[in-house]
Copies of this chain bind each other. A is one copy, B any other.
Amino acid sequence: MQGALSIGVIGYGYWGPNIVRNFHGLDSVKSLFVCDLRSDACCAAKKNFPSVQTTTDVNTILSSPDIDAVAVITPVFTHYDLAKKALENGKHVFVEKPFTSTVAQAEELIELAEKKHLQIMVDHTFLFTGAVRKIRELVDKNVLGDLYYYDSMRVNLGLFQHDVNVIWDLAPHDLSIMDYVIDEKPEAISAHGKPHFSKRLEDVAFITVFFGNNIIAHFNVSWISPVKVRTTLIGGEKSMVVWNDLDADEKIRVYDKGVKVTNRKGVYDLLVSYRSGDIWAPKIQQNEALKEEAQYFIDCILQDKRPINDGHAGLRVVRMMEASTRSIHDEGKPVKLRG
């Protein structure tokens, strides 16, 4: 394999055009194919990117010897089939989030890719934003100290999905970010939710993730909020972070605030000391996350290195969502996370 790849993109709906645009802009992509079952989507792709080749036949993409890697940008229930065929035909795969519909599917795809020495990358785009990288850097440098909690809210008057609930739609973002930021294994998950407009698709949901140590994580996702909120609080002993993704200029603020137990003789002798100092909004790199992710996918293939958002990362997120769904149906009973 040389210094440039040919990519086939399956699915040119809501997200597909962004994927095509970003692969299209890379020097290391030598040719680009787009497949969509709807011929008008193919026309649109051709109009926007005259140099791409389009087809309505997915097998053209999956079997073409000219294609090195396939990007699966389709509804989640189709990911497994498409990714599996691509891998079987020797192609690396880039899969839209969430990776698969079930843990079993994810495990099978990982095994298949490893056997065939192929790469899987799951499109956890947020990991490539300046904001998430900065948070990870702050955690890595121990600016926060021991972590206490991760509390995220992602709500708005949303686009209803017809095949997945609000957790499968919105939570992959936050669960993948938490998975990247917190270097600990979650042990159990509990979730609650309510479908207001259909029998089975929750439009409001709350997820709590338990870790073995001191950390608790919580996720509030909704399609029916009048206001858009994209805020995550991360608390540690040494400092705390507020990430407001809607703030154009100060997405990340680091609060030199903390709580520390200075004496623990007993409940009534518990001495807690507070600290409240400066607030700091580090400059965040302004990049297009998806462009960096696309380049990273190519680089991982060419240099044979494992992506941070590989199949295992995708699997961990799917495992948490599968457990969330089970917990919701079991009235919030916690579900253990093995693996």
Contact = CB atoms under 8 A, between A and B. Distances in A.
Interface string A189-204: 0101110111111011
Interface in A199-215: 199-201, 203-204, 206, 208, 210, 214-215
A242 B268 contact: no
A235 B249 CA distance: 18
Interface in A222-245: 222-228, 233, 235, 239-242
A295 B283 CA distance: 41
A290 B45 CA distance: 25
Copies in the complex: 4
Interface residues on A, range: 35 or more
Contacts of A225: 151, 233, 235, 240
A302 interface: no
Contacts of A149: 194, 204, 222, 224
Interface of A: 50, 148-149, 151, 153, 155, 157, 160, 162-163, 188, 190, 192-194, 196-201, 203-204, 206, 208, 210, 214-216, 218, 220, 222-228, 233, 235, 239-242, 249-250, 255-257, 259, 261, 264, 267-268, 270, 272, 274, 276-283, 331-334
Given A151-B220, A190-B190, A192-B216, 9 more contacts: A148-B204, A148-B224, A151-B225, A157-B274, A163-B268, A226-B239, A226-B255, A278-B281, A332-B334
